[in-house]
Structure 1
Amino acid sequence: MYLENIQSRDKLTIQSELVKSAVLFLSKDGAGFNGVDTEFGNSLAQILRKRRQLSPAQEYQAWKMCRKYWRQLRKADPEIILPKKWINRYRLEGWQVWNDSKGSGPYTLDLIGDGELSCTCEAYSNGNECGHITLAIAQGLIDSVDDINDESIESTQPIKQVSAPSEPTETNYEMLPGIFANQGQLAALSNLKKFALGESIMYLLTGFSGSGKTTLVQAWLRDLRESGYQGRVVFTAPTNKAANVLQRMVNRWQLDIECLTCAKLLGLKPVIDFETGRQRFKKSYNDESVIQDYDLVVVDETSMVNEELWRYLAEEANMFTRLLFMGDPAQLPPVNEAISQSFLEINESSHLSEVMRYRGSIAAMADDIRQNLGRRGEPFFETQYNEDGSEGLFVLTQESWNDNIIKAFQSEKYLEDPDYCRVLAYTNKRVASINKMVRAAIRGPKAPRFVDGERLIATEHYSVANPFGGSTTVLNTSSEMEVNGTSIGMEGRWKVWFLDITRFDDGISKLIPVLHEDCQKEFERTQKELKQQAQNGERQLWKQWHENRSRFAYVDYAYSHTIHKAQGSTFTNVFVDVTDILSNKRRNLVQMPGEDKKRWVYERNQLLYVAMTRPSHRLFIFE
């Protein structure tokens, strides 16, 4: 191991060069790494051999490894040549270090497990790296490997973990201006700080609606930044809608953090399984995974992470890219799964059980449902609202419920804000019925299927072929848009609507083809015949079936959608069809995070809980 004598390099550059040399030496023929560190160290060495720069978090972990494997490095008898300014500045005698240029010292170096060095200087005691340790390792402070043992030299100051921000210990700890942590948040914040700089690669933070998960994460990230943490951070969520909510949130926090969907982060493309009709993911040819560009990944809405997506995420977790999963276990599980695997597979976790943000009748009702997910009977709903009626729970007759829906979607506020109101139901059939009812009332029963100003939602992922190979996503599932113009034309043999749309999430305009209603029955008949032939052995016909289907974008009116698709969204006013929800009779035997044993949970109660926690102001229901 050799460090060039370059006069202009400062302490951090010297440390960087030392780290690179140490890791490359240790990775050769298994010279130093052992056990769980082997894969970690060799991965780091591979990055260095490709002459790529290490991120700050990667370099920090490599520096810890350099100190951990001091014995192996000393056995190699490395030659280190330091710049003259370092030789003149520091004086080394055994375990003592003086800074002669400042007239300070001596500082005592100490061993704290596996040969890791600490220092009694003020910089180290404040949780920062110090040049004394860097110099000691580079200079070969210990004359022989036998001098390193488990007996530590007595230090004059308490030892603190390198680069770890100070941990709050009082219950009046102010996480953010005017926001004080409760005991659960205090413990979780301490654990998250250890996770960011420790050895674990995945961590789980759970909490119910209103327990302060996002506030806690905001405080944690601010503390990390203030303590000098330079790692790249990204927020991600399973759906495009949830990712957009995250982006608005971090913008309010004034934190420079990207927000991506899990598919975008992992370079995945959603596809439809021909035989089951379910959406799955596969690696995209033209969208590379970018998750390894980040040191810390925060996965929100964890309850929506299905088993397949969980596997993709978990495979990417390592010492360079740590994953924090965050979610509400009382919310809906992934489709056809009892509970997200992310709630079951992660060993280290914190759970926030104390609700901090509930207010008013909606929150009280949601809390009651959440605490009784195993209840067989129907909850009791009662109208309750504040003095001016701007917030509250309103129980209506179906006629009054319908009238209020129409008024909400005809209001100026809805034209200004697409999230002003939404109707939620359990089944696709009921959603279609509501959309038809609202659309007819607003546009008239004889209006064309699409008109300018129409607000739509994508019911499936839609992409177009890329001339360089692969495909380019135009619409993600649940992407919302507004129609700017319409025309009718042909797509192959099929009559289509060409819609000029603007996506709400990024303001980009696109032209999409939607199968015309005049061709709907013929198209469905053709697809049914192809599917039957493919299932009967002519499997090559699946390709034609898929090509036919992928020609078109699939959209619906955005007045109503299922509760599953609403998860992760917030609307000012929400209309919920409770009768439709109660038609769900499914129950699952699950073990919730923080509980000792499994219990029966009725999915209709989870549906109600998600629906009740979507409005920010008013909830309208009919029974």
Structure 2
Amino acid sequence: MQKSFLNSENYLYTPNGQKIILNNQQIKAISYVKKFLKSKDAYFLLSGYAGTGKTTVVKKILDEYPKRAIVSAPTRKANAVISQSTSAPGYTIHSLLGLQPDINLVDFNPNEPVFGQINKPTIKNYDLIIIDEASMINKSLFELIDAEITKSLSSKVIFLGDKAQIPPVGDQESPIFQLDNNYELTQLMRQSDDNPIAQLSQQLRNVGEDLSIFLDKKESMLNKDGDGVLFVDSNDQFRDEIKKVFGSSYAKADLNYAKLIAWRNRTVMQSNRIIRDLVFGQNANLIEKGDVLIGYRAIKASAKESFLINNCVDYKVVEVSDRQKNINGLLGYTVKVHEKARIYRGFDEKSIFIIDSDSSENLNEYAEIHDNLLKIARSDRLWSVYYEFRKNNLLMIDIERYSDGGLRAKSDIIKKDLDYGFAVTAHKAQGSTYKKVFMLLKDIALNKNYTERNQILYVAMTRAQKQCIVL
């Protein structure tokens, strides 16, 4: 006889064996989900600020759900997080919808590909789809989800979201937060009860336009274990903390141990240079064993192949060859990297070739080959050759000029595939968590849009599980 769905005890075990007792709000949320699953409604929103235990509720539901269920998210990084946390199979929203870059368009821009439904959507093959990071979902993506779910007679979707996070580009809020069928969690669970990150992040949600209360206070708030928010007074003190944390054995072993988060891209670039100087020394090579890289584009040679590099995903360099010339006659390095595996506790190893961007002559040769292949691809639609070249020759720098020094038009800039990943923008960090976060408050405070500024501050601080170090 099949057990009654969600009638069991008010606890569960995490993938690493930790026992978690559900609080009253989580138990109530599960009761709302039970009603939703028995109803004819297609959508439910479980909202809550960072650390309120949304994923815990979902794991409890999935542990006892008797039908076909999966988890999903807008990015591969966020999808990996929810999949590992729930021990459930996970797919990105784009893959469930059959979306791939539509390379059959005559005016296709490889830097900003238009996504079309190239493959057959599979989202309606499942009875329950849990979609995390709902704040990233814009109107057009939700319309695509709705179009597929409408075709199903039984599929249901539970969205997980935090309305204090950064909304989709160009939108004030994700349309998901307008769903009538919803329940909000407010009791914090992620940090321990005495971790001041929870208290300070709550203040950030309500700070409004005037940030002076937050800026002027700058008092460190640490518990007995040293967890919480550490304000530092000087660049030297900040750098000392960076060297200690990023140079530690913990950071070398765990891709998600530490991250510096800022607002502006140029600040991220400067911060990555500083961190590498502190960790590897000022005479470091372009790529060093132990480097952290992050994907800036999704790279694969064809629609049938899996992604070699993915946007927002971190990679740890474990081996670097000597400088060498590849089959295209370009100089660079064969690099072995580890990507955190989709299965719990493990890594996938990949071998990639990264172009030597310290040589302007080498970059000019790359750009000449690239531009010729792009011209051929656009006229003859031979996109597979173009993408094979991009896959085999990864860039760590945007190419913004022609070999004669002239500026490229914005649409002709050759965008980088990877960059150093010790520091990232808050937009790239959204959907991830780290043991320690370095937050450049003085950079984020330059944002004159106070709503976005507060969202960035909130996202940056709540990425930290243990400690947030602020300058």
2:309 aligned with 1:479, yes or no?
no
Distance change >3 Å, CA 523–CA 313, structure 1 → 2: farther
Distance change >3 Å, CA 532–CA 349, structure 1 → 2: same
Q: Percent identity?
A: 29
Deviation, structure 1 residue 542: 9.9
TM-score normalised to structure 1 length: 0.61
Q: Which residue of 2 aligns with 1:302?
A: 134
Structure 1 stretch 271-280 or stretch 570-579: which is displaced more? 271-280
Deviation, structure 1 residue 523: 6.1
3-state secondary structure, aligned to 1:472: coil
The answer to whether the Cα contact below 8 Å between 1:462 and 1:476 also exists between their aligned partners in 2 is: yes
2:25 aligned with 1:194, yes or no?
no
Q: Distance in 1 between matches of 2:437 and 2:222?
A: 14
Q: Which residue of 2 aligns with 1:207?
A: 48
2:206 aligned with 1:371, yes or no?
yes
Deviation, structure 1 residue 328: 0.4
Q: Deviations over 1:135-179 (max 9, x none)?
A: xxxxxxxxxxxxxxxxxxxxxxxxxxxx7766x9xxxx9465773
Q: Which residue of 1 aligns with 2:291?
A: 454
Aligned with 1:435 (options 267, 272, 278): 272
Structure 1 stretch 428-437 or stretch 550-559: which is displaced more? 550-559
Which amino acid is 2:256 matched to?
A: D
3-state secondary structure, aligned to 1:508: strand
Q: Distance in 2 between matches of 1:218 and 1:242?
A: 16
The answer to whether the Cα contact below 8 Å between 1:175 and 1:216 also exists between their aligned partners in 2 is: no
Q: Deviations over 1:236-282 (max 9, x none)?
A: 1112222222232124xxxxx21222233333335899669546533
Q: Distance in 1 between matches of 2:386 and 2:196?
A: 48
3-state secondary structure, aligned to 2:230: strand
Q: Distance in 1 between matches of 2:456 and 2:96?
A: 28
The answer to whether the Cα contact below 8 Å between 2:72 and 2:90 also exists between their aligned partners in 1 is: yes
2:171 aligned with 1:337, yes or no?
yes
3-state secondary structure, aligned to 1:473: coil
Q: Distance in 1 between matches of 2:109 and 2:20?
A: 54
Q: State which structure, 1 or 2, has the greater radius of gyration over its C-alpha atoms.
A: 1
Distance change >3 Å, CA 276–CA 607, structure 1 → 2: farther
The answer to whether the Cα contact below 8 Å between 1:274 and 1:546 also exists between their aligned partners in 2 is: no
Which amino acid is 1:248 matched to?
A: Q
2:104 aligned with 1:269, yes or no?
no
Q: Distance in 2 between matches of 1:444 and 1:614?
A: 28
Q: Distance in 2 between matches of 1:248 and 1:559?
A: 22
Deviation, structure 1 residue 200: 0.8
1:114-513 matches, within 5 Å, as 174=10, 179-182=21-24, 185-222=26-63, 225=64, 229-251=65-87, 257-269=88-100, 277-278=111-112, 281-285=115-119, 288-317=120-149, 318-344=152-178, 346-355=179-188, 359-372=194-207, 374-378=208-212, 379-380=214-215, 381-389=218-226, 391-396=227-232, 397-465=234-302, 470-483=304-317, 484-487=319-322, 488-492=324-328, 494-505=330-341, 507-513=347-353
The answer to whether the Cα contact below 8 Å between 2:255 and 2:315 also exists between their aligned partners in 1 is: no
Deviation, structure 1 residue 304: 1.5
Which amino acid is 1:423 matched to?
A: L
Gaps of 5+ in 2: 13-18, 395-416
Aligned with 1:611 (options 460, 467, 470): 460
Q: Which residue of 1 aligns with 2:426?
A: 563
Q: Deviations over 1:103-123 (max 9, x none)?
A: xxxxxxxxxxxxxxxxxxxx9
Which amino acid is 1:502 matched to?
A: H
Deviation, structure 1 residue 232: 0.9
Distance change >3 Å, CA 476–CA 270, structure 1 → 2: farther
Which amino acid is 1:508 matched to?
A: D
Q: Distance in 2 between matches of 1:164 and 1:384?
A: 43
Q: Distance in 2 between matches of 1:307 and 1:526?
A: 39
The answer to whether the Cα contact below 8 Å between 1:489 and 1:498 also exists between their aligned partners in 2 is: no
Which amino acid is 2:449 matched to?
A: R
Which amino acid is 1:371 matched to?
A: N
Deviation, structure 1 residue 323: 0.8
Which amino acid is 1:435 matched to?
A: N
The answer to whether the Cα contact below 8 Å between 2:134 and 2:161 also exists between their aligned partners in 1 is: yes
3-state secondary structure, aligned to 2:393: coil
The answer to whether the Cα contact below 8 Å between 2:43 and 2:181 also exists between their aligned partners in 1 is: yes
Which amino acid is 2:201 matched to?
A: A
Q: Distance in 1 between matches of 2:455 and 2:100?
A: 29
Deviation, structure 1 residue 401: 0.5
Q: Distance in 2 between matches of 1:211 and 1:586?
A: 27
Distance change >3 Å, CA 472–CA 282, structure 1 → 2: farther
Q: Distance in 2 between matches of 1:196 and 1:211?
A: 22
Q: Deviations over 1:478-515 (max 9, x none)?
A: 22223323252235354333323232225333222222
The answer to whether the Cα contact below 8 Å between 2:98 and 2:121 also exists between their aligned partners in 1 is: yes
Deviation, structure 1 residue 335: 2.4
Aligned with 2:441 (options 560, 573, 578): 578
3-state secondary structure, aligned to 2:326: strand
Q: Distance in 2 between matches of 1:446 and 1:532?
A: 36
The answer to whether the Cα contact below 8 Å between 1:304 and 1:334 also exists between their aligned partners in 2 is: yes
Q: Distance in 1 between matches of 2:241 and 2:102?
A: 38
The answer to whether the Cα contact below 8 Å between 2:374 and 2:386 also exists between their aligned partners in 1 is: no
Deviation, structure 1 residue 354: 4.3
3-state secondary structure, aligned to 1:610: helix
Q: Distance in 1 between matches of 2:437 and 2:28?
A: 35
Deviation, structure 1 residue 325: 0.7
Q: Distance in 1 between matches of 2:139 and 2:269?
A: 29
| RMSD of aligned Cα (Å) | 3.5
